[in-house]
Structure 1
């Protein structure tokens, strides 16, 4: 069940206030903890995503999750990238410590796929044999599973390298199977991406012992954070992830802090999107500390949810920021010229893209013009039944139109989803899409996978 954020925030505030002076029993989520930390992107322009995962790795250790119960999945091409001015180092805050040091990556490179993500999550050890470390979440009915995912997102989808989509239907099918097989006692999902709410709003059921912290509502982008151009030419983190890890880092070992308290603190620290909770809200009363005897092991540069305004970039402009920083800071003339050319192509490509999308929507709604405004302007709630239609449109669009390696393109994908939600016949659009898209070409940048 989904609750409007304003109502939920008010309810939780009352609960926290009412119990502020009452000694509550220590409610633990369980005694057996697993953590699965996943970054779905690649390339240096997405520096922030891999830095977020690296930071989270140390945070989980600091909270007491055993190292053999933490599994990481990320392309792992940023720390040692030739574009990284500090080879082998990732920082997640201005002048922060190296969070990459000591991180064990179980699955990297092209092993980072939606299929492998679901296999690891669901404990399919046989299927992962010979791939990466082969480790999977071997949880049972006594286990609490933390899943953290960061990358780009679109309506009803999370993305993996080169924008290969994981649809909400496949994710929910896996979660439902795990629930039926009693593969967990409680599961907490922390998801940082654009439009995350669209994967859960009016979709996730509340009786499956899963609580989702969604960085964004169904119509919102996820904001990059610490975008100051100092030390690295890309952003160092993402707003929700930064606030989440910094809050967890501020908690002393053994201190009783509930998920509701975490929600309140992190929610009020976020300035550009709305943190939402979905699923089983009763889990909010439980402590999120895996081990009451956990000890701080690694300094992660906690800023304890500082309230001073940090430099951020619009979600659709992260590639523009990266290219502008490269032009301003590179000492190599050819590098600057290449970046300027790519920036020019990117900006002109967006104009072409807007024209093309308008054409596609016009064709799609030719027999239902009264729906055209809704398709163009409203982020409609999704349901799992639309995904065969939505997936077919998405794959055709990806093949014939734009390669979807740009957040600006992703920000418009809700129009394809709307066509399916409104049950508009897609036969004509699918037939005409190759012809319509051919004159427009591809969007300029190729650095955002």
Structure 2
């Protein structure tokens, strides 16, 4: 017969093993995965006037990028301070380009602008983040996020030391941005946030952030300018900013379900012709940054449709021709693969539960046996 002390030792070892295995598994999940239930994007161009055409092109470029990676319009808040597509100076009416060959119209039929013109204000931007809307505000202008939502916030315009201008009449400060994010944290309106800013002295806008699980990247540092690119003599302005263009050159290679890490994007700036020093930082981020995927912010956790990239050829208004070069193609994802993956994961979880139940049953049997044995030995007369 095995003595009671040996049984107790064996049971203790078994319990410690189970607890240790569970703890290690929990740590592994915490370091590699995030509880992402939905993905949202807030994309803002804060500038007006024709010579700031590139800022709207910046914003629309990011808009199409996240749509191509699976975030639907219902989960994108797009704010454009000026309508350059309808500006009388625009040689190609109804279009906005970010490329010199004019092959991609960023202002196509699939665009949904939620805030435009004078509605793009500091007040409305703060309301979007914090959810402090008026009762009559329509659903398309609201951010319906929760504690499981990952949010991409992209902002472009003119800025300076700890501020970003809106409409050339007001500005949002680093304090206001930090307070808005903290209010979101207190009200459990996000899981993780990625703030991306393309403006002069962009890094200074992040100086007051103190909320957890926030990653930021800015196009320039203190006392540095951000620079434009793709100077188009045909239109008479620059079509995009260097930082956003460098980001697009890297991100355009990403596909839904990609395992490319976000830190790879930051590292790519070292070799890009940006003429400024991009700055990035993570604030109290609970996951290992080496495990954070690009699609954790630029993609969707519930993708079903890949939006088409527009492929058109545009000619000047003088020729009055707007000829479609290629038909838009909607590429449907293979949802079956995702379903199989989920089923496989569920099966593994079920098997793990069975193993744990079996081990717990053994422990219970040993305990009961030990108790009965002790009881019997007490009742046997010596």
Where on the TM-score scale, by shorter chain, does this alignment land: which range? 0.5 to 0.7
1:227 partner SS: strand
Tell me, which stretches of 5 or more residues in structure 1 are unaligned? 1-24, 302-449
CA distance in 2 between counterparts of 1:298 and 1:163 reads: 36
The verdict on how the C-alpha distance between 1:134 and 1:291 changes in structure 2, with shifts beyond 3 A counting, is: closer
2:43 partner SS: strand
Normalising by structure 1, we get a TM-score of 0.57
**Residues 47 and 82 of structure 2 are in contact (CA less than 8 Å); yes or no, is this contact kept in structure 1?**
no
Structure label with greater radius of gyration = 2
**Residues 28 and 287 of structure 1 are in contact (CA less than 8 Å); yes or no, is this contact kept in structure 2?**
no
Residue equivalent to 1:284: 289
CA distance in 2 between counterparts of 1:76 and 1:111 reads: 10
CA distance in 2 between counterparts of 1:137 and 1:192 reads: 22
Residue equivalent to 1:61: 67
The verdict on how the C-alpha distance between 1:66 and 1:208 changes in structure 2, with shifts beyond 3 A counting, is: same
Report the CA distance between 1:294 and its aligned residue: 6.2
Report the CA distance between 1:123 and its aligned residue: 1.8
Q: Is 1:199 equivalent to 2:209 in the alignment?
A: no
Residue equivalent to 2:43: 37
**Residues 73 and 112 of structure 2 are in contact (CA less than 8 Å); yes or no, is this contact kept in structure 1?**
no
CA distance in 2 between counterparts of 1:149 and 1:249 reads: 19
Tell me, which stretches of 5 or more residues in structure 2 are unaligned? 1-30, 312-382
Normalising by structure 2, we get a TM-score of 0.67
Find 1:146's aligned residue among 138, 143, 152. Answer: 152
Shift >6 Å, 4+ stretches: none
Find 2:220's aligned residue among 216, 221, 243. Answer: 216
Report the CA distance between 1:133 and its aligned residue: 6.6
Report the CA distance between 1:121 and its aligned residue: 1.4
Residue equivalent to 1:179: 185
Report the CA distance between 1:64 and its aligned residue: 1.0
CA distance in 2 between counterparts of 1:134 and 1:30 reads: 22
The CA deviation string for residues 87-132 of structure 1, in whole angstroms up to 9 with x for no partner, is: 00001111131011121111111111111101011122336x35x7
Residue equivalent to 1:299: 309
Q: How does 1:329-340 map to 2 (within 5 A)?
A: none
The verdict on how the C-alpha distance between 1:152 and 1:133 changes in structure 2, with shifts beyond 3 A counting, is: farther
Q: Is 1:245 equivalent to 2:248 in the alignment?
A: yes
Number of matched pairs: 273
The CA deviation string for residues 220-255 of structure 1, in whole angstroms up to 9 with x for no partner, is: 11111111423x111000111112223222112222
Residue equivalent to 1:331: none
CA distance in 2 between counterparts of 1:226 and 1:73 reads: 23
- Please give the root-mean-square deviation of Cα atoms over the aligned residues, in Å: 2.3
The CA deviation string for residues 382-417 of structure 1, in whole angstroms up to 9 with x for no partner, is: xxxxxxxxxxxxxxxxxxxxxxxxxxxxxxxxxxxx
CA distance in 2 between counterparts of 1:66 and 1:233 reads: 33
Q: How does 1:23-172 map to 2 (within 5 A)?
A: 27=33, 30-95=36-101, 96-101=103-108, 102-126=110-134, 129-130=136-137, 135-172=141-178
2:203 partner SS: helix
CA distance in 2 between counterparts of 1:27 and 1:60 reads: 21
Report the CA distance between 1:154 and its aligned residue: 1.1
2:281 partner SS: strand
Report the CA distance between 1:270 and its aligned residue: 3.8
Residue equivalent to 1:257: 260
